[in-house]
Amino acid sequence: MSITIEELKKWDSEDELKGYRKEFYINENSIYLDGNSLGLLSRRAEHALLDMLDSWRDLGIDGWMKGDNPWFYFAENLGELSAPLVGAKKEEVIVTGSTTGNLHQLLATFYEPKGLRTKIVADVLNFPSDIYAIQSMLKLKGCDPAEHLVQVESRDGRLLDEQDILASLNKEVALLILPTVLYRSGQLLDIQKITHEAHKQGILVGWDGCHSVGAIPHQFHEWNVDFAYWCNYKYLNSGPGGVGALFVHERHFGRTPGLTGWFGSKKEKQFDMEHHFTPAEASGTYQIGTPHIFSMAPLLGSLRMFDEVGMEKIRKKSLHQTRILMNLIEQELSEYNFIIANPTDDRYRGGHVSLEHPEAARICKSLKEHGVVPDFRKPSIIRLAPVALYTTYEEIYQMVAILKGIMQEKHYEKYSNEREVVA
C-alpha cells in the first residue's frame, strides 16, 4: 500500500515532538536534511550564547566564579547535562576539545604498548581523522602504523561484518577503536556485544560517537565502554566548531591523562600554580587548556531540550522517519538506480539514510538548487538525515517528490559529478 501525503500530514499533526520545530530557525523555503553534519540553530542555543556574552560584559573576569553559569565549572556542568544522552554517570563526561583532539588525548592515555600487545584495531570505513590520529599516536609511541594498525575490511564497501571485527581481536591487540555509527552508510554497530567480547581478551575499547550521540540512546557505563568521544554540532545542534565531549568509565578514574594541562588539574589546586600536576578525580582531568566558553554556550540551550524530551522519544521518531523515507524511495524512485546502502533493520540503522547513486555529487547539487540540503560523501553517497526535533514528515515526502522530478527531467546533468569544496 502506497504512502500518501495525507497520511504524512496526519503523522505530523499527531507528532508528540512537533512543538520543538518552532524552537529552531527554519528556512521555510528549504528542506534541511543535513543535521547529521551540522544541526540547525535553536533559539535556546542563541539565547545561551547571548547570555554568556552578557556575563562577560557585566562581570568581566568575575564571570569565572559568578553569574548563572560560572565559567570555571562550565565544562563539568555541561558534562552532567550530556551524561543521560550516553547512559553515563555525571562524573564520567566532560565537554572539552574537539573530536580529533579528544581522541589524541584518549590514545595518549590508554594506548600502552607492552610485550605482544602493541596493535590498534580500527576499520577501513572509519572517518579519516580518526585514522590520522591513530597513525600519529603509533608513531609517537615508536610503532610503525603499517605493522601495528589493523583495519578491519568491509565485504561490500558499505558495511562491517561484526564477526570480522571480532576475528581481528587477539593477544597482540591493545586497543580497539570503532565508530558507533559508520558515517557513510549509517550502520549502527552492537556496542555492548563488541565491547564485551574485546574485554574477554583483555582489550580496551573506545568508541567514536559523532554520528550517534543525540540520535541514538547509549548505555556506555552499563556496557563497560572504556572511553568514547564525540562532537556536539551534529544532532546536538551546538553550532559550527562547537566544543566536543568525551566519556571515561569511572573504573579508569585516577589514571593520569597522557596529555596534561592546567584545566585537567584538581579544581582546588589549579590556581596554586605548582609545577606538579594534581589530576582531577574524574573525567575533568582530560581537559587540557582553558575552556572555549562561547563555543560551549550554545550547547547549554540545546541540551535543555534533550533533557525535556529524552533520547527514547527521539530515537523512536528518528527510526520511524528514516523508515518512511526508505519506503518512499522504494515507492517513487525504483526506476532510477538508487541503492539504499544503510541497514534497513532498525537494530542496525543510525539516524540517516544512505542513498547510493553513480551521479550522487551532481544530484546533490541539483537538490540544493531545488531547496533541499543533503550531504554528499565520496564516492557516491547522498546522506539524508531527518532530525526528530525539527524535520516534518511532509518535508520527507516533498524531498522525495523533488528528487523524482530531478531524475525525470535529468536536471542533475547540468552539473559536473564532482564534490564541492565542502561536501
Tell me the pLDDT tens digit for each residue of 405-419. 999 999 999 988 887
**Residue 364 confidence (pLDDT) above 70:** yes
Q: What's the confidence (pLDDT) of residue 417?
A: 85
Per-residue H/E/C for the chain: CCCCHHHHHHHHHHCCCHHHHHHECCCCCCEECECCCCCCCEHHHHHHHHHHHHHHHHHHHHHHCCCCCCHHHHHHHHHHHHHHHHCCCHHHEEECCCHHHHHHHHHHHHCCCECCECEEEEECCCCHHHHHHHHHHHHHCCCCHHHHEEEECCCCCCCCCHHHHHHCCCCCEEEEEEECECCCCCEECCHHHHHHHHHHCCCEEEEECCCCCCCCCCCCCCCCCCEEEECCCCCCCCCCCCCCEEEECHHHCCCCCCCCCHHHECCCCHHHCCCCCCECCCHHHHCCCCCCHHHHHHHHHHHHHHHHHCHHHHHHHHHHHHHHHHHHHHHHCHHHCCEECCCCCHHHECCCEEEECCCHHHHHHHHHHCCEECEEECCCEEEEECCCCCCCHHHHHHHHHHHHHHHHHCHHHHCCCCCCCCC
Cβ-based neighbours of 303, under 8 Å, separated by 6 or more: 78, 81, 82, 236
**Residue 49 confidence (pLDDT) above 70:** yes
- Domain that includes residue 356, residue range: 5-32+310-414
Q: Which of 308, 326, 349 is the last residue of a domain?
A: 308
Q: How confident is the model at residue 45 (pLDDT cuts 50, 70, 90)?
A: very high
- What does pTM read for this prediction? 0.96
Q: What CATH number is attached to the domain comprising 184?
A: 3.40.640.10
Do 225 and 118 lie in a common domain? Answer: yes
The mean pLDDT value for 207-232 works out to 98
Q: What's the confidence (pLDDT) of residue 418?
A: 84
Q: Which of 262, 279, 308 is the last residue of a domain?
A: 308
**Residue 423 confidence (pLDDT) above 70:** no
Q: What CATH number is attached to the domain comprising 358?
A: 3.90.1150.10
Q: How confident is the model at residue 83 (pLDDT cuts 50, 70, 90)?
A: very high
The residue with cell 525525470 is 408
Do 228 and 330 lie in a common domain? Answer: no
Q: Confirm whether 287 is domain-assigned.
A: yes
Q: What's the confidence (pLDDT) of residue 98?
A: 97
Whole-angstrom Cα distance, residue 31 to residue 393?
11
Q: Confirm whether 81 is domain-assigned.
A: yes
Do 111 and 14 lie in a common domain? Answer: no
Question: Measuring CA to CA, which residue among 255, 241, 264, 325 is closest to residue 94?
Answer: 264
Q: Confirm whether 359 is domain-assigned.
A: yes
| Cα angle, residue 237 at apex, residues 221 and 319 outer, rounded to 5° | 65
Q: Confirm whether 41 is domain-assigned.
A: no
Q: What is the pLDDT of residues 132-161, one digit of tens each?
A: 999 999 999 999 999 999 999 999 999 999
The mean pLDDT value for 75-81 works out to 98
Whole-angstrom Cα distance, residue 268 to residue 16?
45
Do 298 and 314 lie in a common domain? Answer: no
Q: Which of 308, 330, 346 is the last residue of a domain?
A: 308
Residue type, 267: K
The total domain count for the chain is 2
Residue 59 in grid coordinates: 562581570
Do 57 and 206 lie in a common domain? Answer: yes
Do 122 and 147 lie in a common domain? Answer: yes
Do 301 and 316 lie in a common domain? Answer: no
Q: Confirm whether 422 is domain-assigned.
A: no
Do 161 and 228 lie in a common domain? Answer: yes
Do 26 and 64 lie in a common domain? Answer: no
The β-bridge relationship of strands 375-377 and 372-373 is: unpaired
Q: What's the confidence (pLDDT) of residue 230?
A: 98
Q: What's the confidence (pLDDT) of residue 422?
A: 73
Q: Confirm whether 390 is domain-assigned.
A: yes
Do 67 and 166 lie in a common domain? Answer: yes
Whole-angstrom Cα distance, residue 401 to residue 422?
26
Do 58 and 10 lie in a common domain? Answer: no
In the chain, pLDDT over 70 holds for what percent of residues?
A: 100
Do 302 and 207 lie in a common domain? Answer: yes
Q: Confirm whether 376 is domain-assigned.
A: yes
The larger pLDDT score, comparing residue 168 to residue 267, is at 168
In the chain, pLDDT over 90 holds for what percent of residues?
A: 95
What number of other Cβ atoms are within 10 A of residue 115's Cβ? 8
Averaged confidence pLDDT in the chain: 97
Cβ-based neighbours of 264, under 8 Å, separated by 6 or more: 257, 277, 279, 280, 284, 285, 286, 287, 288
Q: Confirm whether 38 is domain-assigned.
A: no
Q: What is the pLDDT of residues 295-317, one digit of tens each?
A: 999 999 999 999 999 999 999 99
The mean pLDDT value for 18-25 works out to 98
- CB-based contact 264:284 (threshold 8 Å): yes
Q: What's the confidence (pLDDT) of residue 419?
A: 79
User: CA–CA distance from 250 to each of 9, 92, 156, 220 (Å)?
Assistant: 46, 6, 38, 11
